[in-house]
Amino acid sequence: MKIQTIYSVTAAKQKLVILFSSILITLFASCHVYSFKDVSIPPEVKTVKIGMIENKARYVDPQLAPQLRDRVEQKITGQTRLTRTNNDDAHYQISGYISENNITTAGISSQQAATNRLTIGVHIVFRNTLTAKTEEYDVSRNFDFSANLTRQQAENQLRDEILRNLSDEIFNRIFSNW
């Protein structure tokens, strides 16, 4: 009788392990794991200076430029081995400005705007002081929102998505071989 009980417990544990493993495999199979394996920073590059991101767009959101600068800084210091500095002799120097902050109609329903689109554009200047090479990039992202929202409501609702997408794009343009 004890052998059959031990066998039942062991079989139950095996079934539980198989069930748990199946659940984990299913969960991981449906997830997208992103990594920055293509980040390429020469070994002699040690420091980065992240300068101001100004707001030169026609419409100025006073929070956007400093929050974007902070998000880019967090991403660089968190995902690279570079040390942030405020010195002008930093190996990498990054600065830029918000060049576009516009709203357009994206969708119409029953002769009225149903969806609006917020477009944010950023011009980035990237300087490598070790090679004396300067590159400039323009990144732009669109963010759709309900036409029932005011501009401020849409900006507040989309703020985290805007900052995440723009900082990812800036990071990838500078550090990845895409």
Question: How confident is the model over 9-51, as pLDDT tens digits?
Answer: 566 666 655 655 555 454 444 443 344 445 778 999 999 999 9
Residue among 85, 78, 82, 159 nearest 118 (CA): 159
| Three-class DSSP category at 41 | coil
Q: Give the CA angle between residues 123, 125, 129 to the nearest 5°.
A: 175
User: Which helix (H) or strand (E) is 17 found in, with range?
Assistant: helix 2-30
| Three-class DSSP category at 34 | coil
Question: How confident is the model over 56-82, as pLDDT tens digits?
Answer: 999 999 999 999 999 999 999 999 999
| Three-class DSSP category at 59 | coil
Residue among 65, 21, 28, 14 nearest 170 (CA): 65
- pTM value is 0.74
Residue in the structure block whose two tokens are 């748990």: 20
